Amino acid sequence: MGENTKAVPRHVAIILDGNGRWAKKRMLPRNAGHAAGSKNVEKICEAAWNMGIEYVTMYAFSTENWSRPQEEVDALMKLLHSYLKDCIKTSKKNNMQVRVIGDISRLEPELQDKIRELEEVSAQNTGLHFQVALNYGGRDEIRRAVRKMVQDAEDGNLKASEVTEDKIADYLDTKDIPDPDLMIRTSGEQRLSNYLLWQLAYAEFYFTDTLWPDFNKKELEKAVEFYQTRDRRFGGV
């Protein structure tokens, strides 16, 4: 028997794509698109929680994004500073628990401090669990997890017989977070782009041509309605 997909997905992962194209259509600089996309995050988080979704994970900045023009990277980092500062207030207002996944060690120390502060002040909130993927790549996450496992094995804290799927998951950035049920990618692209490669093994994929700044509550409802048509057998019959 397949899982009852008439229920709302517990965890939705989103690849925020199309900020640059949104700006280009309006003859604006790409940075204006990123700013518009940033403002859309809270709206979608609020809509998701009101729909009964418990976890939302958004792909904000990948390990590959460093290869973009330096001017754009600098603007994104500046926007990130501003967003994290606002998110501390937002998390309190919306009772939202925020967690950052990815390798934050490459980020500026001040940015790392903001991330730790945000996670600390929101840790006891009981509303939406909101994960932000920053300097995140699925392969990099697995690489870091394997290194930790090897180190634990060398230290005598891990045996080969203990390496199960659940044990591997404990070494990932998403430890204690349920795997996504639904993955949404905006702007018409149809690829994972190194996003949550382990965690999305049995997720349903929904692709929409809507650009991220234009992705609203109605678009989210469409994605959930698509999810509810799927027969999730997880390899069974």
Secondary structure element (H or E) that encloses residue 184, with its range: strand 182-185
The reported pLDDT for the residue numbered 83 is 85
Question: What one-character-per-residue DSSP string does 22-46 give?
Answer: HHHHTT--HHHHHHHHHHHHHHHHH
Pairing of strands 55-62, 129-136: parallel
Catalytic position from the list 4, 17, 135, 179: 17
Residue 25's nearest CA partner among 15, 16, 36 is: 36
17 a catalytic residue: yes
Residue 12's nearest CA partner among 204, 234, 219, 236 is: 204
pTM of this prediction? 0.92
CA distance 170 to 59: 21
The reported pLDDT for the residue numbered 2 is 41
The reported pLDDT for the residue numbered 3 is 47
Q: Tell me how crowded residue 121 is: count the other CB atoms within 10 A of its CB.
A: 15
Residue with structure tokens 């120390």?
Answer: 109
C-alpha pair distances (Å), 155 with each of 160, 162, 176, 192, 211: 13, 14, 24, 35, 48
Compute and round to an integer the Cα radius of gyration of the chain.
18
The reported pLDDT for the residue numbered 39 is 92
CA distance 59 to 135: 9
Q: Per the structure block, which two tokens stand in for 62?
A: 């990948």
Q: Under DSSP, is residue 114 helix (H, G, I), strand (E, B) or coil?
A: helix
C-alpha pair distances (Å), 21 with each of 33, 37, 187, 237: 8, 11, 8, 42
How do the pLDDT tens digits run along the chain, 237 residues long? 344 447 999 999 999 999 999 999 999 998 899 999 999 999 999 999 999 999 999 999 899 989 988 988 888 888 888 888 888 889 999 999 999 999 999 999 999 999 999 999 999 999 999 999 999 999 999 999 999 999 999 999 999 999 999 999 999 999 999 999 999 999 999 999 999 999 999 999 999 999 999 999 999 999 999 999 998 777 665
65 a catalytic residue: yes
The reported pLDDT for the residue numbered 4 is 45
Catalytic position from the list 40, 50, 65, 94: 65
Residue with structure tokens 């028997």?
Answer: 1
CA distance 134 to 208: 23
**Strand-by-strand arrangement of the 129-136 sheet:** 97-101, 129-136, 55-62, 11-15, 182-185, 204-207
